[in-house]
A and B are shown apart, each in its own frame.
Chain A
Amino acid sequence: MELFINQVLAGVATGAIYACMALAVVMIYQAIDHLNFAQGEMAMFSTFIAWQLMQWGVPYWWAFLLTLAFSFAGGIAIERALFKPLAKAPVLTNVAGFIALFAIVNSVAGLTWDFTIKPFPTPFGNSPFLGSQLISTHQAGMIGVTVGLLILLYLFFQFTRIGLAMRAAAALPESARLVGINTSWMIALGWGMASAIGAIAGILIAPVVFLEPNMMGGVLIYGFAAAVLGGLSSPLGAVIGGFLVGIFENLAGTYIGHVGNELKLPIALALIIIVLVLKPAGLFGRPIVKRV
Chain B
Amino acid sequence: MSSVEETANEAPAVEAVPKKAMTLGMGASLVMLALLIIGPMFVKNFIVFQLTMLLIYALAVLALNILTGGSGQFSLGQSAFYAVGAYTSAILMEHFGVNYAVTLPIAGLICFGFGYLFGQPALRLSGIYLALATFALAVAMPQLLKLGVFEHWTGGVQGLVVTKPDAPFGLPISQDRWLYYFTLTVAIGIYIASVNLLKSRSGRAFMAIRDNEIAASAMGVDVALYKTLAFGVSAGITGVAGGLGAIAVQFVAPDAYTITLAISLFLGMVVGGVGWLPGSIVGSAFIIFVPNIAEGISKGLSGAVFGVLLFLVIFLVPHGARQVAMVAQHMLGKLGKG
Does B associate with A?
yes
Residues of A within 8 A of B314 (CB): 86, 89, 93, 96-97, 100
Query: B246 at the A/B interface (Cβ < 8 Å)?
Result: no
Whether B129 and A288, one on each chain, are in contact in the complex, defined by CB atoms closer than 8 angstroms, is no
Bound-state CA distance A97–B318 (Å) is 10
Interface membership of chain B positions 303-314, coded 1 if the CB is closer than 8 angstroms to chain A and 0 otherwise: 111111011001
What residues on B are CB-neighbors of A30 within 8 Å? 2
Choose one: B7, B14, B68, B320; the contact of A33 (CB below 8 Å).
Answer: B7
A104 to B305, CA, bound (A): 7
The binding surface of chain B is classed by DSSP as: helix
Which chain A residues border B132 with CB–CB below 8 Å?
A: 224-225, 228, 272-273, 276
Residues of B within 8 A of A107 (CB): 300-307
- Given contacts A228-B128, A276-B124, A82 and B136 within 8 Å (CB-CB): no
Let me know if B133 is at the binding interface, CB within 8 A.
yes
Interface assignment of B121: CB less than 8 Å from any CB of chain A: yes
Which residues of chain B come closer than 8 Å to A104, judged between CB atoms? Answer: 303-304, 307-308
B303 touches A92 (CB 8 A): no
| Chain A hits for B129, CB < 8 A | 228, 276, 280
Interface centre among A30, A99, A103, A111 (most CB of B within 10 A): A103
Residue of A nearest to B309 (CB): A100
A162 adjacent to chain B (CB < 8 Å): no
Nearest opposing residue in chain B for A32, CB measure: B2
**C-alpha gap A221/B133 in the complex (Å):** 12
Q: Contact residue range for chain B?
A: 35 or more
Highest count of chain B CB atoms <10 Å: which of A99, A170, A171, A233:
A99
Q: How far is the CA of A88 from the CA of B315 in the complex (A)?
A: 11
Cα A135 to Cα B58 with chains together (Å): 49
Task: Kindly list chain B residues whose C-beta atoms are within 8 Å of the C-beta of A108.
Answer: 301, 304
Complex-state Cα separation, A17 to B304, whole angstroms: 27
Interface residues of A in 99-115 (CB under 8 A from B): 99-104, 106-108, 110-111
Residue among A89, A96, A225 making CB contact with B310, cutoff 8 Å: A96
Of residues 108 through 153 on chain B, the ones whose CB sits less than 8 Å from some CB of chain A are: 121, 124-125, 128-129, 131-133, 135-136, 139-140, 143-144, 146-147, 149
Q: Is A269 an interface residue (CB 8 A)?
A: yes
The verdict on A177 contacting chain B, using a C-beta distance below 8 Å, is no
The residues of A that contact B271 with a CB separation of less than 8 Å are: 96
What range describes how many residues of A lie at the interface? 35 or more
Residues of A contacting B1 with CB < 8 Å?
Answer: 171-172, 290-291
Chain B CB within 8 A of A2 CB: no
- A292 and B214 form a contact (CB under 8 A): yes
Starting from the known contacts A96-B270, A99-B307, 14 additional A-B residue pairs (CB-CB under 8 Å) come to A86-B315, A88-B318, A90-B10, A93-B270, A93-B318, A99-B263, A100-B306, A104-B303, A104-B304, A107-B305, A228-B129, A232-B128, A263-B143, A265-B139
- B positions within 8 Å CB-CB of A: 1-7, 10-11, 13-14, 68, 74, 121, 124-125, 128-129, 131-133, 135-136, 139-140, 143-144, 146-147, 149, 214, 263, 266-267, 269-271, 274, 300-308, 310-311, 314-315, 318-320
- 9 A-B pairs with least C-beta separation: A107-B303, A90-B13, A266-B140, A104-B307, A269-B136, A89-B318, A103-B307, A100-B310, A107-B304
- Pick 7 A–B contacts, CB within 8 A, sort by A: A93-B319, A97-B311, A103-B303, A107-B307, A110-B303, A262-B146, A263-B147
